[in-house]
Chains A and B, each alone.
Chain A
Amino acid sequence: MLRRTLLASAALGLGLSLASGAFAAGMDKVKACFVYVGPIGDGGWTYQHHQGALELQKAFGDKVEIAWQENVPEGADAERVLTQMALGGCNIIFTTSFGYMDATNAVAAKFPNVMFEHATGFKREHPNVSTYNARFYEGRAVQGYLAGKMTKSNKIGYIASFPIPEVIMGINSYYLNAKKANPNVELTVVWAFTWFDPAKEADAAKALIDSGVDVIASHTDSTAPLAEAAKSEGKVVGFGQASDMAEYKPSPRISSIIDNWGPYYVKRVGALLDGSYAQADAWEGISGGEVKIGEITEAVPADVKAEAEKIRDEIAAGTYHPFTGPINKQDGSPWLAEGQTAPDGDLLGMNFYVEGVTGDIPK
Chain B
Amino acid sequence: MLRLEKRPIPSRFWLYATPVVAVILTMIFGGLLFAAMGVNPFAVIKTIFWDPLFGEFAFYLRGQLLVKAGPLILIAIGLSLGFRAGIWNIGAEGQYIMGAIFGAAVGLAFYPTENRLIFPLMVIAGAFGGWVWAMIPAILKTRFNTNEILVSLMLVYVAQTILAKASTGFLKNPEGMGFPGSRNFSSFPAAANPELIAGSGLHWGGVTAVLVALAAWVLLSRHIIGFQIRLTGQAPRAARFAGVAPKRLVVLCMGLSGALAGLAGLFEVTGPAGQISIDFNVGYGFTAIIVAFLGRLNPIGIVLAGILMALTYVGGEMASTNLGLPSAAIQVFQGMLLFFLLAVDVFTNYRVRFGRVEVA
Contact = CB atoms under 8 A, between A and B. Distances in A.
Given A73-B282, A85-B321, A163-B168, A3 B327 contact: no
Interface stretch (A76-84, A208-216, A281-289, A324-332): A76-84
A79 B272 contact: yes
Interface in B258-296: 268, 271-275, 277-280, 282
A292 B275 CA distance: 35
A45 B268 CA distance: 28
Contact of B327 (A1, A39, A67, A85): A39
B320 A70 contact: yes
B200 interface: yes
B169 A69 contact: no
A179 B278 CA distance: 33
B277 A74 contact: yes
B272 A363 contact: no
B200 A3 contact: yes
A164 B59 contact: no
Nearest to A85: B321
B67 A67 contact: no
A43 interface: no
B178 A76 contact: no
Contacts of B318: 84, 88
Interface string B177-214: 11111001010000000000111100000000000000
A106 B326 contact: no
Nearest to B313: A77
Interface string B301-314: 00000000000001
B286 to A, nearest CB: 14
Interface in A96-117: 98-99, 102, 106
A320 interface: no
A71 B60 contact: no
**Which of under 10, 10 to 19, 20 to 34, or 35 or more describes the interface residues of A?**
35 or more
A122 B282 CA distance: 25
B197 to A, nearest CB: 8
A19 interface: no
A165 interface: yes
B324 interface: yes
Contact of B282 (A67, A75, A81, A351): A75
A57 B274 CA distance: 35
Interface residues of B, number: 41
Interface stretch (A4-12, A21-29, A133-141, A234-242): A4-12
B340 to A, nearest CB: 23
A81 B321 contact: yes
Interface in A338-363: 348-351, 362-363
A1 B198 contact: yes
Given A7-B60, A70-B320, A76-B67, A162 B168 contact: yes
A87 B199 CA distance: 14
B272 A88 contact: no
A30 interface: no
B57 A69 contact: no
Given A7-B60, A67-B322, A69-B320, A99 B178 contact: no
Given A40-B326, A122-B177, A163-B180, 19 more contacts: A2-B198, A3-B59, A4-B199, A6-B199, A10-B60, A69-B317, A70-B326, A76-B282, A80-B317, A81-B321, A83-B60, A83-B64, A85-B321, A87-B60, A88-B321, A163-B168, A164-B179, A168-B178, A362-B168
29 contacts: A3-B197, A3-B199, A6-B59, A69-B317, A69-B320, A69-B327, A73-B282, A74-B277, A74-B279, A75-B282, A76-B268, A76-B272, A77-B317, A79-B272, A81-B317, A81-B321, A84-B317, A87-B57, A88-B57, A99-B278, A102-B186, A102-B274, A163-B168, A163-B180, A164-B178, A165-B177, A349-B177, A349-B178, A363-B168
Interface of B: 57, 59-61, 64, 67, 164, 168-169, 177-181, 184, 186, 197-200, 268, 271-275, 277-280, 282, 314, 317-318, 320-322, 324, 326-328
| Among all A-B residue pairs, the 10 with the closest Cβ atoms | A3-B199, A76-B272, A351-B178, A71-B327, A73-B282, A76-B273, A363-B169, A74-B279, A75-B273, A70-B327
